[in-house]
Amino acid sequence: MTLWDYLSEGFVQHALIAATLVAVTAGLIGPLVIMRDLAFAVHGTAELAFTGAAAGLLVADDPLLGALLGSIVVATAMGVLGNRERERNSAIGVILAFGLGVGVYLLSLYRGFATAATNILFGQIFGVSPSQITLLTAIAIGVLIAMALMYRPLLFASVDPELAQARGVRTRLVGLLFVYVLALTVTEAAQIVGTLLVLSLAITPAAAASRLSARTPVVIVISIAVALIAADGGLLLSLVHSDVKASVFISTISFAFYVIARAAAKFVVPAHRATSHAGAGPRATGRAGSELHSDHEPGNSAASTPTAARAASTTEAVTPEPQ
């Protein structure tokens, strides 16, 4: 069969829809995950989705529903047990060790086909059913709505949590809500690449995008684009090379983009900036000098660092100045 013949099949169309849904949600939250240093939380949630999926297989023969419920329980435990970074990472480590042990035990009780168990770890995008497509669509819509509502306070709390809390942002609540969104997205991604390779969609595209721009909206757009190319491209390549799983191609494409982004950030982007500055002429140099002078005047110390400037601009966007 040719690639076009495959694309006319219903199971391939379902797989492409699922891959697109997962890529959009994973690419959307990835930059915020990196900004909040939650990569280990992604890994922990993905591994513990295995425990929920094993329970779902054992109880209701539905690994997706089990992984979804399990990820919500894990997100709650992470949010309750650890708020600060050191507490959060140690809490994730404790829960991860216990949860994996429970997952192995539950899987030992399962008497079904072995492929149903291995699909939890390595993913099986071509086995997505219409009911699972409906559930994945609902999850994606929920993630998009949640991110649209909490984007500004979440960004503010990610840039400068102390200042955000001082300005009235409930940073602990925002962080807990984002962990829920993260858990739902990781559960989605695990259906495609499996719990062992979920970082290839939830982290790698965002890590590549963050090398190319410092503006959060631009990073999000690039992250979504890279995740889409990796997910859908890996899926199509697995149809051409049927002896290789889609998750292998997806992780390879994501990593390739990351390597290219690192090289571009080291060589291409600095050269482009140098050319732009040279073409701006002495007029731009004079303007930059006056801005630098104004930044060092008394009373302008808040603008003397990029972090403070970003935090100040985010503050104005999130909360108005008191009257």
Tokens of 98: 């216990």
Q: What is the pLDDT of residue 71?
A: 83
pLDDT at 163: 87
Q: What is the pLDDT of residue 117?
A: 61
Examine the pLDDT at 270 and tell me if it is beyond 70: no
Q: Which amino acid is at 143?
A: V
Average pLDDT (71-92) is 74
Q: DSSP letters of 159-213? A: H-HHHHHHTT--HHHHHHHHHHHHHHHHHHHHHHH-GGGTHHHHTHHHHHHHTT-
Average pLDDT of the chain is 78
Which residues, 6+ apart, have CB-to-CB distance to 308 below 8 Å?
Answer: 160, 302
- Asked whether 11 and 246 are in contact (CB, 8 A), the reply is no
Average pLDDT of span 263-272: 73
pLDDT band of residue 85 (cuts 50, 70, 90) is low
Amino acid at 237: L
Write down the pLDDT at residue 309: 45
Q: Residue 308's pLDDT band (boundaries 50, 70, 90)?
A: very low
pLDDT tens readout for residues 288-303: 444 434 444 444 444 4
Q: State pLDDT tens for residues 123-146.
A: 777 878 788 788 889 888 999 999
The pLDDT, as a whole number, for residue 214 is 87
- The total number of residues shown for the chain amounts to 323
pLDDT score, position 255 = 95
Spatial distance between the Cα atoms of 89 and 78, rounded to a whole number of angstroms: 9
The SS3 assignment for 267 reads helix
Interval 180-217: pLDDT, tens: 898 888 887 777 777 767 888 889 999 999 999 989 99
Mean pLDDT of 15-21: 90
- Residue 226 in contact with residue 205, Cβ under 8 Å? yes
The secondary structure element, H or E, covering residue 268 is none
Mean per-residue pLDDT, 39-60:
83
- Nearest CA-CA partner of 16 in 126, 123, 124, 116: 126
Pick from 36-40, 232-236, 251-255: least confident: 36-40
257 Cβ contact partners less than 8 Å away, ≥ 6 residues apart:
204, 205, 208, 226, 229, 230
Instruction: State residue 276 phi and psi, 5-degree precision.
Output: -65, -40
* Predicted confidence band of residue 322 (pLDDT cuts 50, 70, 90): very low
Question: Half-sphere exposure of 129 toward its Cβ, with a 13 Å CA cutoff?
Answer: 6
What pLDDT, on a 0 to 100 scale, did the predictor assign at position 79? 72
pLDDT-based confidence at residue 277 (cuts at 50, 70, 90)? low
For residue range 42-51, list pLDDT tens digits in order: 888 888 888 8
Q: With contact defined as beta carbons under 8 Å apart, do 26 and 188 qualify? A: yes
Summarize the confidence of residues 28-49 as an average pLDDT.
86
Span between the terminal Cα atoms of the chain, in Å: 69
